[in-house]
Each structure stands twice: as C-alpha cells, then as structure tokens.
Structure 1
Amino acid sequence: MANYPDDLQYTKDHEWIRITGDTGRVGITFYAQDSLGDVVYVDLPKVGTTVKANEPFGSVESVKAVSELFSPVSGEVIEVNTKLADAPELVNTSPYDEGWMIVIRLSNPGEVDALLSAAEYEDFINEK
C-alpha cells in the first residue's frame, strides 16, 4: 500500500486529508495524479475562503484535462501551497508531501468519519 499512506483519509473523488488536531492538509491521491498525467496548473482558493465537504474548492489542469478539486471536509482555508503556482509538477512528483494543496480548519470534525481509510480507498479504486 505504498501509494496510499495509512495516516491519511480519502474521498471517492480521489482527494486525501491528513488530520492534525483541528486542521487537515488536503491534496489529490497518487491514483488521481497518475490518471491526470502531467499537471500544468493548479487553481486554489485564497486563505480565508470557506469550503464545504464534497463541494469544489479549486481545479487542477493537466495535459489531458481540467478536473475539479473537492473538499473532504467543511471549514476555513488557513493555508495554501504557494509553491504550486511555480511548480505544479509537485502534484505529480510528491502528491502526499510537497504537492499538497490547502490546509483547512475543520468546522465539523465529525465529517472525517465518513472518509475512507487507505485500505478502503485501495479497494474502491481496484473495483474500477
């Protein structure tokens, strides 16, 4: 399960979140970036934006397509990965570390319970 770290939780829209206290760092999964191909642009919200679980917060553009990004939880964006403006390829080369997208202060921590574990996410993509 090297491509799906156990310390993350996942959505069926192929986003991941790493929960630390009352915040969560969000990005897209290895599967998502692999399906997209080379990422050339990432459109992210501004700090202070309110996001809602399962609703779009931005988009990622690759050589193949433009795909919406969906928030795994509700809350306020408190940090944005500004490195992606100049280096969107970090989404491909380091989807779980340097290629993260936003940090959210959770407004409803219970929403995390609806997310998938690494094993559940891997089962989900293997069914495709």
Structure 2
Amino acid sequence: MTVKYTEDHEWLKIDGDTATVGITVHAQDALGDVVFVELPAVGTVFAQKDTAGVVESVKAAADVYMPVNGEVIEVNEALRADPSLANSDPLGGGWFFKVKLSDPIQLDALMDETSYTTYSAAA
C-alpha cells in the first residue's frame, strides 16, 4: 500500500483506485485536541484542493482539502462520534474519508514519506 502526503498536511493510503484520507501527525500536533470534525457527504465529487471537510480543536479550526480529484465513497463515522481519534490514531483509526480516484496521475505530484518529513520539519 502506497502512502502519499500533501503540502496541506493530509495523508493518503492508496489501494488500487481508492485512497483513504486523513490528517498527518504534524497537522494534529499543530491543531491540539480535536473536538469536532465535519466530514463530506458520501457521493460528493470534489476537485483537487476543494475543501472537503473541517477539523476543529480547542485552539483552531482548519479545512481538510481534497488531495486529488474523486468521489467520496465512505466516511469515518467512528471519527464523527469520537473526534479525538484524529489525535490518538491520526494515521489509522482517525482517517476522515475514502475517495475513488478519478485522475490517479495526480498522485505523482504528491510527496512520499521522506519528502513530507523534510517538508513538515521546515513548516
């Protein structure tokens, strides 16, 4: 399974033509304790960089951007019920939504883990 990262601090785990999307450890560290998430509706089609959701913490709110073109096929209802999963397990149980990729070539422009680690250290 391939993992990619965006400059907006989202991660994608790619499995075929589907990607699971969440926020990175860096993002949740910057936000602090997450208290609310707004997830997109299943079936919604987004273009890359569209706002697909919102994450709110005790100290800030931030948009969650669609990292690639695609259709939302599933949302994490467990995260909606317990937003703190974005802090306690951001790369696992704290995922936000799954998207069916409509333009997989866009993945080539995203960062791998090494590139993202360097990028986020400078952020």
Q: Same fold (TM over 0.5)?
A: yes
**Distance in 1 between the 2:116 and 2:2 partners?**
13
**Distance in 1 between the 2:17 and 2:2 partners?**
15
**Distance in 2 between the 1:63 and 1:8 partners?**
29
Percent identity reads 47
Match status 1:67 vs 2:51: no
Counterpart in the other structure of 2:78: 83
Counterpart in the other structure of 1:26: 21
Q: Any stretches of 5+ residues in structure 1 without a counterpart?
A: 1-5
TM-score by length of structure 2 reads 0.97
**Distance in 1 between the 2:86 and 2:121 partners?**
22
User: Where in structure 1 do 4 or more consecutive aligned residues deviate above 2 Å?
Assistant: none
Counterpart in the other structure of 1:3: none
Counterpart in the other structure of 1:44: 39
Q: Given the alignment, which residue of 4, 11, 15 partners 2:6? A: 11
**Distance in 2 between the 1:101 and 1:85 partners?**
9
SS at match of 2:115: helix
- Which digits, 9 at most, give the CA deviation of each residue in 1:92-113, with x for residues without a partner? 0000110000000000000000
TM-score by length of structure 1 reads 0.93
Q: Any stretches of 5+ residues in structure 2 without a counterpart?
A: none
**Count of residues paired in the alignment:** 123
